[in-house]
Amino acid sequence: RLDAELERHQQLLTILFVDIVGSTRFYDQHGDLAGLVMVQKVLDTLTPLIEQHDGVVAKTIGDAILAWFRNAQIAVRCGISMQRALDARNQNRPPGDKIHIRVSLNLGLGLLKEKDVFGDVVNVASRIEKVTDSDEIAISPSVYEQIRHLPDIQVRQKGKGIEFKGKAEKLDLYSVIWREGEEPAGPAPPRPSSEQLALATGLHKGLAELARKETPAEEKPRAKGKAPRAAPHEPAPAPPSRVGKGTVVMGVEEAEKPAAAGMSFELVLVRGDGSLGQHYPVDKPGLILGRDRGEIQLPADKQLAPEHARFTQLGDALYVEDISGGPGVFRRLRRPQILQPGDVVMLGRQKFAFQTGAAVEAAPEASPKKTQMFGAQTAAAPPQLEQLDDNGQVVKRFPLSDAETTFGRSSGTHTFPDDRYMSGQHARLFRGPEGFFLEDQNSTNGSYLRIRKRALVKDGDILLVGGQLLKVVAETH
């Protein structure tokens, strides 16, 4: 599907807009040729600063530059360098020869196409630029969330509930103090609310989709006297951590904690016996885990990519992003999960790709010479699971013709007796009103679904990254 394919190209990016203040007046006073020369000189000054800060110039629009960064802190430092560079140039120049700029930044989901970037994150950054003053760096709540803990970057509140043309919602804005020696008038602004972060990033749309995907197909009736099923944000009972029947244990899932305000997150290694090992705090934006790069390095794991996963906290939410370029990041199922075409699941050590049925030509019957006629009817092949080898190649196909298909080491529609990591009865796929669902059958090692580029992760989630099991642990301040 097109939306799923586009989602693969979305990334969490920081957008920077910079434009020259008063360029129209400069053209009027000095003429078109002088105006073009001035604009080009400014662009020649600012563009290298973007590149030096690992940014990418998406395009120049007259006297403005649109650029994007993978790291919000670096993007803000780039904006500071821009203002200071032009401030140094303006020293000892007459007022008519001074050049001023305004810089606006926003962090959110962007759609990359080569060097260009699209999406609401760009629109919000552009609208912020419209209300940014000369010599100012204005930032959105999502950018402030990423830099508010930095001791060397001071921020003041620019305004609360600012209206933008074409937007029903109102956004809080902040201003970065970039002049050396200048101090804010009061204390640092408070932490942005979750609602403000959602408006700035556009992740409220993704969160709604994630919530829908994590909703079970149906609620099973419960016996009298039993407590109602836990809501997604409430503590959920942990599956039994049985170690029988010769199954090799990968990890043991524990109960989920309720969400709370003011959270910090840790990634905790889960050992083979289910006990918890090394703790890794998510103490910086865009924390990277990899084999030999990033803040968390696990060189002994050859299944890890050099840079495998990126973890970003926004408010009280933690996101994981797959940057492995192939191996993927998998999350253990905690409830039935609807499958989308192209989803990759892991049961034991077996990987499968879910595919919906494609139309296939019916047997030729219209022509006596058995020539297929134009307009002949087509039949839809049933949905199927494609078993993948280590290189991602299809080695076997399992049609999902029935209402339910089960997988296990010794019991089920399809069995894998040589897979010691698969439980006797491991998982089932069943047809629900909205499509096919995957449900774990209280297996020892769990069933895993590969995330599509990025996903919201919750306290208690178990991630499979390379050969490592990592548990997400949230702590309340």
DSSP annotation of 26: H
Fold of 330-450: Tumour Suppressor Smad4 (2.60.200)
Q: Is the pLDDT assigned to residue 372 strictly greater than 80?
A: no
Q: Where in the chain is the domain with CATH 3.30.70.1230?
A: 2-206
Q: Which residues pair with 181 in a beta bridge?
A: none
Instruction: Dump pLDDT digits (tens) for 340-371.
Output: 999 999 999 999 999 986 544 444 444 445 55
For 81, residues 6+ apart whose C-beta sits below 8 A from its C-beta are 49, 52, 53
| CB contact at 8 A, 288 and 263 | no
pLDDT of residue 374: 53
Could you give phi then psi for residue 436, rounded to 5 degrees? -90, 140
Instruction: Dump pLDDT digits (tens) for 184-209.
Output: 777 889 988 888 888 888 765 444 23
Q: Which residue has the higher pLDDT, 221 or 280?
A: 280
- Single-letter amino acid code for the residue at 137: I
Distance in angstroms (rounded) separating the CA atoms of residues 292 and 289: 9
| CATH 3.30.70.1140 applies to domain 2-206 | no
Burial tier of 122 (Cβ tally within 10 Å: 0-12, 13-18, 19+): buried
Distance in angstroms (rounded) separating the CA atoms of residues 136 and 298: 42
Q: Where in the chain is the domain with CATH 2.60.200.20?
A: 242-328+452-476
Alpha helices in 350-396 (DSSP H): none
Closest CA to 56 of 7, 110, 4: 110
pLDDT of residue 7: 54
Write the CATH number of the domain with boundaries 242-328+452-476: 2.60.200.20
Whole-number Cα distances in Å, 154 to 133, 148, 187: 17, 8, 10
Which secondary-structure segment (H or E) carries 43? helix 32-52
Whole-number Cα distances in Å, 103 to 112, 219, 394: 21, 50, 49
Helix (H, G, I), strand (E, B) or coil at 129: helix
Burial tier of 434 (Cβ tally within 10 Å: 0-12, 13-18, 19+): exposed
Q: 369-373: long-range contacts (C-beta < 8 A, 24 or more apart)?
A: none
